[in-house]
Homo-oligomer: A and B are copies of this chain.
C-alpha cells in the first residue's frame, strides 16, 4: 500500500510503500530511469520546470534488497518558483482544484497548486517502479503508450497537433492504452474489489483522467452478445485460454490469464497560455494571466504514472491471492 505526501512547492514529495515482500531485488539505477520518464522537458509541449527528481530511499531496502519493512522515500522539490503564483492565491482558476480545495479545507497552499499539483504523481512512480521490478521477477510486464492526442491517433501527426495547440496558447488531452502481460489467472476480489474496479480507481485517481474502460469498453456496449464472446480453448501446452479477448483479460472481476487491456482518457491541461476570465475569492470578475511553466499535453509524461498504478494494483492482488487457501 502506498501512502504519499507533499505539496508542489514544499521541501519534498515522498511516500511510504508498505507491505512490499522481503527479499525483492531493487535496482536503484533502473528505478531512477523509470522516475526520469515522468520528468518534464523531455518531449514537445511539456513544462520547462526542471526538477531532477532524485529518489532518496530512506528505509526498507538494504544492499539492493527489500527488507519487508516500509519503504520510505523522498524526492526533493528544487525548482519551485512560487512568485509565479501570486495572482492565483486570490483567484479561482477554471478546471483547477483551487475552488474545491478551498471549500473542503478552508485553507489551501496555492503555490504550484500545492497538494493538488500533478507533481504528487512522482511518489506514485517511485513506488510503482519498485512494484514493477517485483512483478518482472514473476514474468509480469506493464506497457502503456499514447494511443490518441486530441482527435489524432496517428503518431506521425501528433507532434504537429501539439505544436499547433501550443502556438495557440491552447492545450490537449488524449488517451493512454495500457497492457499488462503475464498475469496469472485468479487475481482479483470478485464482488466490490473486482480487478478492473481496482484498476479503474487507480487510474481515475491520476490527475486529469476522466474515463476508464477495459477490454471492449464502451464499444462493447454497442455489440450483441454473440459478437463479443471469448471462446475458451485448450492450448497445445495444456493451458486454457480464449480465442479472442473482448473481456480484456478479466472475467467476473478476476484475471483469466489473457492480456489485461485498458484505455484511460485524459482531459486537456486546464492551464492555458492565454488570458482567461474567472472570479476572485470574493466573487469579483478577474482576468487570469497565467505564468508558471505548464504542459500543453501531459500524456507522454503520464505513461510511467499509468504503469506505476497498474503495477501497484497487480502486485497487491498477486499477494492477496496467496491467502485464498490455507
Contact = CB atoms under 8 A, between A and B. Distances in A.
A24 B70 CA distance: 28
A163 interface: no
A24 B97 CA distance: 22
A243 to B, nearest CB: 9
Interface in A58-79: 58-60, 62, 65, 67-72, 74
Interface in A181-233: 184-188, 190-194, 196-198, 200-202, 204-205, 207, 210-218, 220-233
Contacts of A6: 58-59, 70, 72
Contacts of A234: 279, 283-284
B268 A228 contact: yes
A7 B69 contact: yes
Number of copies: 4
Contacts of A231: 94, 277-278
State which size class the interface on A falls in.
Answer: 35 or more
Nearest to A70: B5
Interface stretch (A27-35, A46-54, A167-175): A167-175
A106 B23 contact: yes
A70 B218 contact: no
Contacts of A106: 22-23, 324-325
B104 A254 contact: yes
Interface string A142-154: 0000001011000
A301 interface: no
A76 B194 CA distance: 25
B228 A67 contact: no
Given A3-B70, A211-B218, A186 B60 contact: no
Interface string A313-326: 00000111111111
Contacts of A100: 185-186, 188, 190, 250-256
B114 A173 contact: no
A23 B326 CA distance: 8
12 contacts: A6-B72, A22-B106, A58-B74, A68-B105, A99-B256, A120-B191, A165-B225, A170-B225, A207-B252, A223-B268, A229-B276, A232-B279
Q: Top 9 closest A-B pairs, CB basis?
A: A97-B252, A5-B72, A234-B283, A211-B213, A171-B225, A100-B254, A225-B268, A201-B201, A5-B70
